[in-house]
Amino acid sequence: MEKARPLWANPLQFVFACISYAVGLGNVWRFPYLCQMYGGGSFLVPYIIMLIVEGMPLLYLELAVGQRMRQGSIGAWRTISPYLSGVGVASVVVSFFLSMYYNVINAWAFWYLFHSFQDPLPWSVCPLNGNHTGYDEECEKASSTQYFWYRKTLNISPSLQENGGVQWEPALCLLLAWLVVYLCILRGTESTGKVVYFTASLPYCVLIIYLIRGLTLHGATNGLMYMFTPKMEQLANPKAWINAATQIFFSLGLGFGSLIAFASYNEPSSNCQKHAIIVSLINSFTSIFASIVTFSIYGFKATFNYENCLKKVSLLLTNTFDLEDGFLTASNLEQVKGYLASAYPSKYSEVFPHIKNCSLESELDTAVQGTGLAFIVYTEAIKNMEVSQLWSVLYFFMLLMLGIGSMLGNTAAILTPLTDSKIISSHLPKEAISGLVCLVNCAIGMVFTMEAGNYWFDIFNDYAATLSLLLIVLVETIAVCYVYGLRRFESDLKAMTGRAVSWYWKVMWAGVSPLLIVSLFVFYLSDYILTGTLKYQAWDASQGQLVTKDYPAYALAVIGLLVASSTMCIPLVALGTFVLHHLKRGDVASVA
Partner 1 sequence: MLWLLFFLVTAIHAELCQPGAANAFKVRLSIRTALGDKAYAWDTNEEYLFKAMVAFSMRKVPNREATEISHVLLCNVTQRVSFWFVVTDPSKNHTLPAVEVQTAIRMNKNRINGAFFLNDQTLEFLKIPSTLAPPMDPSVPIWIIIFGVIFCIVIVAITLLILSGIRQRRRKNKEPSEVDDAEDKCENMNTIENGIPCDPLDMKGGHMNDAFMTEDERLTPL
Per CB under 8 A, the list member of 48, 183, 316, 367 interacting with partner 1 is: 183
Residue 124 phi/psi, 5° resolution?
-95, -20
Question: Prior bond to 120 cis, omega within 30?
Answer: yes
**How many residues make contact with partner 1 (CB under 8 A)?**
32
Residue 256 contacts residue 90 (beta carbons within 8 Å): no
Q: Is 103 annotated as a binding residue?
A: no
User: In 10 A of CB 518, how many CB atoms?
Assistant: 12
Q: Is 22 annotated as a binding residue?
A: yes
- Only one of the segments 47-55, 181-189, 343-351, 507-515 lies at the binding site for partner 1 (rule: CB under 8 A); that segment is 181-189
Per CB under 8 A, the list member of 326, 353, 498, 532 interacting with partner 1 is: 326
Indicate the residue type of 455: Y
Per CB under 8 A, the list member of 173, 242, 297, 413 interacting with partner 1 is: 173
Per CB under 8 A, the list member of 5, 9, 10, 117 interacting with partner 1 is: 117
Per CB under 8 A, the list member of 12, 125, 281, 515 interacting with partner 1 is: 125
Q: Is 194 in the site for partner 1 (CB under 8 A)?
A: no
Q: How are beta strands 535-540 and 545-550 bridged, if at all?
A: antiparallel
Q: Is 143 annotated as a binding residue?
A: no
Taking the C-alpha atoms of residue 109 and residue 158, their distance in angstroms, rounded to an integer, is 23
Q: Is 42 annotated as a binding residue?
A: no
- Going from the C-alpha of 473 to that of each of 69, 85, 169, 241, 405, the distances in angstroms are 17, 13, 38, 19, 22
Which residues between 293 and 322 bind partner 1 (CB under 8 A)?
318-319, 322
Taking the C-alpha atoms of residue 236 and residue 580, their distance in angstroms, rounded to an integer, is 51
Taking the C-alpha atoms of residue 75 and residue 421, their distance in angstroms, rounded to an integer, is 8
Q: Is 115 in the site for partner 1 (CB under 8 A)?
A: yes
CB of 105 to partner 1, least distance (A): 17
Q: CB-wise, 119 or 532, nearer to partner 1?
A: 119
- Only one of the segments 65-73, 171-179, 339-347, 451-459 lies at the binding site for partner 1 (rule: CB under 8 A); that segment is 171-179
Q: Is 207 annotated as a binding residue?
A: no
CB of 331 to partner 1, least distance (A): 16
The 425-464 site mask, x for binding partner 1 (CB under 8 A), equals ----x-x---------------------------------
* Sign of the CA dihedral with 386 first, then 388, 394, and 395 last: positive
Taking the C-alpha atoms of residue 470 and residue 453, their distance in angstroms, rounded to an integer, is 27
Per CB under 8 A, the list member of 53, 277, 310, 323 interacting with partner 1 is: 323
Taking the C-alpha atoms of residue 245 and residue 27, their distance in angstroms, rounded to an integer, is 14
Cβ-based neighbours of 293, under 8 Å, separated by 6 or more? 207, 210, 211, 214
Task: Provide the strand spans (E) within 279-378.
Answer: none
Residue 416 contacts residue 65 (beta carbons within 8 Å): no
CB of 445 to partner 1, least distance (A): 17
Q: Known binding site for Na(+): residues? A: 22-23, 27, 251, 283, 402, 406
- Contact positions vs partner 1 (CB under 8 A): 110-111, 114-115, 117-118, 125, 127-128, 132-135, 172-173, 176, 179-180, 182-183, 186-187, 191, 318-319, 322-326, 429, 431
